[in-house]
């Protein structure tokens, strides 16, 4: 039987792609590129708060009733400046204009600024000297105005990351700006203005909104010129100075948006003189189905049109709305929802009926605004397990939003590969010039059809819109398991409650249940005891990328995705089609219960969880690439910084997972944090010839690398039984001199093509590469030796390709080459790049890219007589021009080859300041691809969140010449992942290899067509008719064809 079709495993490889308090610190973690950049930029979000000052804000926030009462008792008033009495009581209508309405009490019987019926104008004081007949203000501590003022001033006090502006209604028919965005001299000044706002008149939302539009767009003042309380620093009496204008230093902002928050308690009335202006502004864009009140159209215009075209960047304003109280009509609530919807203002709607809800709504709104700051994406390709000549047409992108706090929001989105483009649900190119999802893209799993007259807008690269995060079931419908006791338990089980109490430092049972509810997705309960569902439940998949598994069982024939997040969960989703997906189940290890309180409180400091990309094993007995009934499918997870355990799940039945095993440092001596993603292999040893094994490194020793302590863990390689987790063998069993962490995957090789892995290569953080020979079926003959010792840190696995080169020996006479002989030499090309993954911003190290020739191509025991360690000095220092400049001079090229033969390979010194390789390389078609990263300069005005530059080098495996026009392609502003390989066909049905995850790609397609090196063993000379010859090193585009450089350098499957 050919077990290449029976056993199959696949790996989804690579690295995925808030504002901070000044005290936040990051030590030796790769997240420093995100959080440190946020600290350096010190930019504040620009928010205009529209405060409802209508008369109904005087009413009770609880009962909805007016805060005044009429007492039908005879009353007389005496005016303090007249000698006679005023026989009529002061009129009710005038009470609304009392300048100090909130300060009146029944006891004082004293009214300031009251219009009495017998005099003109506002009088001084009226003293009651007889009975109580008349209108009096009752004790109204719960007025909407008071509650709103308390909530807004509290928000101002607690928010350092926002430049607020303040607008209010004016004369019951328009509005004006009390403070422009960021123009208040201090928080106290802004709070004083808020506390002095009155409550009178109508609710002119539309004219106030148009006034704000005029301000943001550097336009003419609409109706606010006569307002004595306006902020005159932002206008010249007739026109505004837009906050989008650059400052005097000319510095670019990174966030070029503004955010408008409408907080209102009533139906819009009054102030409609802007209707014609808004209709004229918006009709050419939205000519049909205009809403009755044009505020939604205005919000849409502001969110989709550049409001200040004098700068090259686009300046938009997004609209948020908060409905306060319980007196609004349904059509008014719908208007507020429309204004903030994806289809119009691209913000969010919140409602609130009491003080706590209003404070929570304002806080949630600000948090959502801050969440827009930075999103990162990286693709993960769903590979076909049975047929390595094809991949799925869909591609899955992991996203996360950095923050200075414990919980980072995350998401996974789905796009499609169509021809040479990555496209969205509407078959439109979905990747921008920075390699991220376009803001205008409409990704899959989101229904964009019209509902109730509203069509959702694009979700694009927004972490908190669309994707799998929008497809999590209601909290009471979720299935969440944990690992207490044997097998698995639902987290609602009483045993889980007890364990949660312990993890929460002896919490009460009620507190533990509250925490479990929060983990399910419930943030609390409202006054009617209705559950309040958390927004954005998914945590960040910082380093974990989704693996895709295709099923075809009696109950399920869909693709499923499995991945981990730093919220501590493993998630298993079913891809149900273009517009929907659903979470089938989730798992949270009990050892991470203790982190849930930190996530819930969301204090300072990053929290880690299940942060390693999963490895999948599938016993594909019929070779169809789908998990059929009776076939085994297992998933293996590490934790990276989340812990020092590995977890194995049986996912053969997608609806009924089983925990196969959990192992940690007690089971594997020297195991550190589990950074090394396992690989599934077969090894020819007794009892395991037909059983899959896992191979992985010892992981990360935090105490050694970050605290300067001596090494205690991480310096080992393990082979374990994939089904049981039993330790089969480790380097602890042999003479192994390694003393640094092995954090990357282990490179594997089947040197004799018998279907069994017989050689391993492991790189460590000390810059060494270890060769481990699994020679024969007797493990006592296995050996390890230090194959190479290089400068720098090696955090990722070396990539290994079996190939050969033409070794040149020249003979000279009087300094001239008179003869050159060639000998074909087989070797393993070991390719690796150096760089400290834990400190990507460090510029003190000098890192390099390496190709090392291992010419000992026979696997054997090296318990004695091991080859001499290859050092960096044994490698030729090379640039793309070393051989590239000689291709038109074949004789000189041959001389350089002869020089090159004296070395053991080549090294390329990275030229960028602090440039380092922070992902594993790839070898495709004889081309070595190296992802690298350059940190941004301190204090730079680069408007990426990281402030850096990602690059992808593509070099000829043997000669390091450029494969494309330039040595590298810019991939974006953050750490680039290993490029993902997609197998496809061109229009002529020729096999072709495509690379994604490489930035904008060719013509902003998000894709690069992979090329191959020339297939000739001896460098091919091409001569023209005049006898001018040139060495041809770069071949055609790569596809499935015979190459002398084997792309498939490792075999995990046993062949009979």
Structure-token match 């998630």, residue found:
571
pLDDT (tens digit per residue) in 266-303: 788 876 788 889 988 887 666 555 566 789 999 999 99
125 vs 1: which has the higher pLDDT: 125
Fold of the domain spanning 46-59+143-240+281-311+319-369:
Rossmann fold (3.40.50)
Mean pLDDT, rounded, for 877-881: 96
Mean pLDDT, rounded, for 868-896: 95
What integer best gives the mean pLDDT of the chain? Answer: 82
Structure-token match 């009390």, residue found:
178
pLDDT winner (highest mean) among 38-42, 400-404, 628-632: 628-632
Reduced to 3 states, what is the DSSP secondary structure of residue 86? strand
Residue 732 CB contacts under 8 Å (≥ 6 apart), including other chains: 669, 670, 716
Residue 815 CB contacts under 8 Å (≥ 6 apart), including other chains: none
814 pLDDT above the threshold of 60 = yes
Helices 295-304 and 205-216: crossing angle in degrees, nearest 10, is 20
Q: Please state, for a pLDDT cut of 70, what percent of the chain lies above it.
A: 80
Residue 282 and residue 288: Cα distance in Å, rounded?
10
pLDDT (tens digit per residue) in 337-365: 999 988 889 899 998 888 888 888 888 88
pLDDT computed for residue 812 by the predictor: 66
pLDDT computed for residue 789 by the predictor: 98
Cα three-residue angle 558-561-566, rounded to 5 degrees? 160
Task: Decide if 966 contacts 389 (C-beta within 8 A).
Answer: no
pLDDT computed for residue 266 by the predictor: 73
Mean pLDDT, rounded, for 61-88: 46
940 pLDDT above the threshold of 60 = no
pLDDT computed for residue 380 by the predictor: 58
Reduced to 3 states, what is the DSSP secondary structure of residue 635? strand
Residue 677 and residue 697: Cα distance in Å, rounded?
8
Domain residue extents for the chain: 46-59+143-240+281-311+319-369, 68-137
**Lowest mean pLDDT, pick from 180-189, 673-682, 801-810, 962-971:** 801-810
Please name the helix (run of DSSP H) or strand (run of DSSP E) that holds residue 531, with its range, or none.
strand 531-533
> How many CB atoms are closer than 10 A to CB 865?
8
pLDDT computed for residue 249 by the predictor: 56
108 confidence band (pLDDT: 50, 70, 90): very low
pLDDT computed for residue 1043 by the predictor: 40
Name which of 526, 517, 187 is nearest 355 in CA terms: 526
85 pLDDT above the threshold of 50 = no
Mean pLDDT, rounded, for 26-33: 68
Backbone angles phi, psi at 333, to 5 degrees: -60, -40
pLDDT (tens digit per residue) in 301-322: 999 899 998 887 889 999 999 9
499 pLDDT above the threshold of 60 = yes
796 pLDDT above the threshold of 50 = yes
Residue 306 CB contacts under 8 Å (≥ 6 apart), including other chains: 314, 315, 316
Reduced to 3 states, what is the DSSP secondary structure of residue 665? coil
Could you tell me where the beta strands, DSSP code E, fall in 152-279? 162-170, 174-179, 257-264
pLDDT computed for residue 574 by the predictor: 96
> How many CB atoms are closer than 10 A to CB 110?
13
Kindly state the tokens that stand for 491. Answer: 């987290």
pTM, full prediction: 0.80
Residues in the chain: 1056
Mean pLDDT, rounded, for 953-959: 96
221 pLDDT above the threshold of 60 = yes
95 pLDDT above the threshold of 50 = no
**Lowest mean pLDDT, pick from 25-34, 412-421, 516-525, 748-757:** 25-34
Cα three-residue angle 412-417-422, rounded to 5 degrees? 75
Q: How far is CA 588 from the centre of its chain?
A: 21
Structure-token match 């290089």, residue found:
790
68 pLDDT above the threshold of 50 = yes
Mean pLDDT, rounded, for 557-585: 95
Cα three-residue angle 1012-1017-1022, rounded to 5 degrees? 75
Name which of 648, 647, 617 is nearest 632 in CA terms: 617
724 confidence band (pLDDT: 50, 70, 90): very high
Residue 798 and residue 853: Cα distance in Å, rounded?
12
pLDDT computed for residue 423 by the predictor: 95
**Cα radius of gyration rounded to whole Å, the chain:** 34
12 vs 991: which has the higher pLDDT: 991
Mean pLDDT, rounded, for 1029-1046: 69
């Amino acid at each position: 039987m050919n077990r290449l079709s029976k056993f199959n495993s696949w790996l989804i490889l690579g690295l995925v792609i808030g504002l901070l308090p000044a005290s936040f610190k990051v030590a030796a973690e790769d997240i420093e590129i995100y959080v440190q950049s946020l600290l350096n930029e010190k930019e504040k979000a620009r928010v205009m708060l529209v405060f409802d000052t209508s008369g109904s804000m005087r009413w009770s926030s609880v009962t909805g009733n007016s805060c005044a009462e009429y007492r039908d008792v005879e009353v007389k008033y005496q005016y303090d400046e007249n000698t006679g009495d005023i026989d009529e009581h002061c009129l009710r209508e005038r009470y609304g204009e009392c300048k100090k309405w909130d300060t009146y009490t029944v006891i004082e019987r004293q009214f300031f600024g009251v219009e009495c019926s017998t005099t003109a104008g506002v009088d001084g004081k009226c003293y009651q000297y007889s009975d109580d007949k008349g209108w009096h203000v009752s004790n109204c501590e719960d007025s909407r105005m008071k509650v709103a003022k308390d909530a807004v001033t509290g928000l101002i006090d607690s928010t350092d990351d926002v430049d607020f502006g303040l607008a209010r209604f004016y004369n019951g028919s328009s509005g004006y700006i009390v403070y422009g965005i960021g123009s208040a001299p201090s928080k106290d000044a802004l709070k004083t203005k808020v506390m002095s706002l009155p409550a009178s008149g109508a609710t002119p939302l539309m004219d106030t909104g148009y006034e704000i539009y005029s301000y943001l767009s550097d336009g003419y003042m609409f109706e606010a010129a006569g307002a004595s309380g306006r902020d005159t620093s932002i206008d010249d009496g007739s026109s505004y100075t837009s906050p989008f204008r650059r400052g005097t230093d000319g510095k670019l902002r990174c966030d070029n948006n503004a955010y408008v928050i409408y907080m209102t308690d009533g139906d819009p009335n009054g102030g409609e003189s802007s209707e014609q202006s808004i209709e004229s502004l918006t009709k050419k864009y939205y000519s049909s189905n205009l809403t009755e009140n044009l505020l939604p159209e205005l919000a849409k215009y502001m969110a989709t049109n550049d409001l200040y075209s004098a700068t090259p960047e686009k300046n938009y304003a997004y609209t948020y709305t908060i409905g306060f109280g319980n007196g609004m009509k349904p059509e008014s609530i719908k208007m507020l929802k429309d204004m903030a919807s994806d289809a119009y203002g691209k913000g969010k709607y919140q409602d609130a009926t009491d003080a706590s809800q209003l404070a929570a709504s304002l806080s949630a709104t600000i948090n959502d605004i801050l969440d827009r700051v930075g999103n990162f994406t990286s693709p993960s390709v769903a590979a076909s397990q049975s047929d390595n000549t094809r991949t799925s047409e869909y591609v899955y992108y992991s996203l996360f939003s950095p923050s200075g706090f414990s919980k980072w929001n995350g998401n996974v989105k789905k796009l499609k590969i169509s021809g040479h483009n990555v496209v969205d649900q509407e078959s439109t190119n979905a990747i921008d010039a920075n390699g991220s999802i376009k803001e205008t893209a409409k990704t899959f799993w989101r229904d964009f059809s019209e509902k109730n007259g509203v069509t959702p807008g694009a979700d694009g690269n927004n972490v908190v819109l669309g994707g799998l995060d929008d497809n999590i079931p209601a909290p009471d419908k979720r299935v969440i398991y944990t690992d207490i006791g044997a097998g698995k338990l639902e987290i609602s089980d009483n045993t889980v409650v007890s364990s949660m109490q312990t993890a929460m430092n002896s919490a009460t049972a009620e507190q533990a249940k509250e925490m479990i509810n929060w983990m399910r997705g419930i943030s609390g309960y409202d006054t009617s005891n209705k559950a309040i569902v958390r927004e954005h439940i998914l945590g960040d998949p910082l380093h974990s990328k989704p693996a895709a598994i295709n099923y075809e069982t009696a109950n399920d024939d869909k693709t499923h995705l499995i991945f981990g997040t730093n919220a501590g969960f493993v998630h298993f989703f079913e891809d149900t089609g273009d517009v929907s997906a659903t979470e089938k189940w989730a798992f949270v290890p009990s050892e991470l219960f203790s982190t849930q309180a930190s996530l819930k409180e969301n204090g300072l400091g990053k929290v880690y969880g299940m942060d390693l990309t999963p490895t999948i094993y599938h016993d594909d007995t019929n070779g169809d690439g789908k998990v059929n009934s009776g076939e085994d499918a297992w998933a293996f997870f590490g934790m990276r910084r989340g812990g020092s355990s590995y977890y194995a799940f049986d996912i053969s039945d997608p609806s009924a997972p089983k925990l196969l095993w959990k192992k940690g440092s007690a089971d594997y001596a020297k195991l550190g944090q589990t950074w090394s993603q396992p690989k599934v292999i077969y090894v020819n040893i007794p009892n395991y010839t037909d059983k899959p094994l896992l191979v992985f490194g010892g992981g990360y020793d935090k105490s050694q690398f970050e605290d300067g302590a001596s090494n205690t863990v991480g310096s080992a390689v393990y082979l374990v039984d994939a089904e049981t987790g039993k330790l089969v063998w480790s380097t602890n069993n042999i003479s192994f001199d390694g003393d640094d962490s092995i954090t990357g995957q282990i490179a594997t090789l089947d040197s004799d093509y018998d279907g069994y892995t017989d050689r391993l290569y492991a790189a460590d953080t000390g810059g060494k590469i270890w060769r481990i020979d699994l020679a024969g079926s007797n493990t006592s003959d296995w050996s390890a030796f230090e194959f190479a010792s290089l400068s720098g840190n090696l955090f990722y696995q070396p990539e290994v390709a079996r190939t050969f080169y033409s070794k040149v020996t020249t003979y000279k006479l009087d300094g001239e080459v008179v003869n050159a002989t060639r000998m074909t030499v087989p070797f393993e090309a070991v390719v690796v790049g150096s760089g400290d993954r834990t400190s990507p911003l460090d510029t003190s190290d000098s890192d390099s890219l390496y190709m090392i020739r291992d010419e000992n191509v026979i696997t054997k025991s090296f318990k004695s007589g091991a080859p001499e360690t290859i050092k960096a000095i044994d490698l030729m220092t090379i640039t793309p021009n070393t051989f590239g400049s000689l291709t038109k001079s074949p004789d000189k090229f041959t001389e350089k080859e002869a020089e090159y033969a004296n070395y053991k390979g080549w090294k390329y010194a990275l030229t960028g300041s602090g440039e380092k390789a922070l992902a594993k390389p790839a070898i495709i078609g004889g081309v070595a691809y190296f992802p690298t990263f350059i940190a941004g300069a301190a204090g730079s005005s680069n408007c990426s969140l990281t402030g850096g530059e990602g690059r992808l080098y593509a070099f000829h495996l043997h000669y390091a010449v450029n494969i494309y026009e330039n040595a590298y392609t810019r991939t974006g502003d953050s750490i680039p992942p290993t490029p993902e390989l997609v197998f496809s066909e061109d229009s002529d049905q020729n096999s072709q290899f495509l690379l994604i995850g490489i930035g904008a790609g060719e013509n902003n397609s998000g894709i690069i067509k992979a090329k191959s090196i020339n297939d000739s063993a001896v460098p091919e000379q091409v001569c023209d008719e005049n006898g001018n010859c040139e060495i041809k090193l770069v071949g055609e585009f790569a596809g499935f064809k015979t190459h002398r450089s084997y792309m498939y350098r490792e075999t995990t499957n046993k062949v009979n």
